[in-house]
């Protein structure tokens, strides 16, 4: 075997390994974070329960696949309606369309509560901003009437310069 053919073989091996590595990285990047999956699993199980790494990985794969499946259905609906953004209502519709009615009902209730909380948060934020502005105007307002009053008089405010 010549030196050139050995180099060609090495190059093929490197390219093959690189593509396998890229495929593994791409697959790994599309999965849900395993720490989040493990944390969710622990919330349901008794405190003394142990969860193996393999169980977390399988659940990670299944949860990711489920989310992709539902999101894909919702995305297809949006494309048919010439929309670019998938919203919570689309996810609820997709869950129902795929036969996950119980999940859809729970998500609809959650979405309603979430939107209510966001509205209340926005109103509260507006009230705080208005309150802060009012307080500022009240605290600094004492000097404004005197300046406005002076505008109508012939007297100009005097400035004292120390030299």
Question: In the chain, what's the furthest Cα-to-Cα distance?
Answer: 107
- Give the model's pLDDT for residue 125: 84
Q: Which of 50, 20, 30 is nearest to 38 (CA)?
A: 50
CA angle, residues 88, 94, 95, in degrees to nearest 5:
95
Q: Which helix (H) or strand (E) holds 142?
A: none
Write down the pTM of the prediction: 0.58
What is the crossing angle of helices 88-97 and 101-141, to 10°?
Answer: 170
- How long is the chain? 163
Average pLDDT in the 126-146 region?
64
Per residue in 49-83, pLDDT tens? 999 999 999 999 999 999 999 999 999 999 999 99
Given a cut of 70, is residue 159 above it in pLDDT?
Answer: no
How confident is the model over 35-54, as pLDDT tens digits? 999 999 999 999 999 999 99
């Amino acid at each position: 075997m010549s030196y050139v053919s050995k180099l060609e073989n090495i190059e093929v091996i490197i390219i093959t390994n690189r593509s396998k590595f890229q495929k593994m990285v791409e697959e790994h990047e599309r999965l849900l974070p395993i720490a989040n999956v493990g944390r969710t699993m622990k919330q349901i199980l008794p405190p003394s329960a142990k969860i193996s790494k393999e169980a977390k990985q399988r659940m990670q794969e299944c949860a990711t696949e489920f989310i992709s499946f539902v999101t894909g259905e919702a995305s297809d609906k949006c494309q048919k309606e010439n929309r670019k953004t998938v919203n919570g209502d689309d996810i609820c519709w997709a869950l129902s369309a795929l036969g996950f009615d119980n999940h859809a009902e729970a998500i609809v209730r959650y979405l309603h509560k979430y939107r209510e909380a966001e509205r209340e948060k926005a109103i509260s934020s507006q009230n705080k901003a208005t309150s802060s502005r009012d307080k500022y105007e009240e605290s600094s307002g004492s000097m404004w009437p005197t300046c406005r009053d002076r505008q109508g008089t012939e007297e100009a405010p005097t400035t004292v310069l120390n030299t």
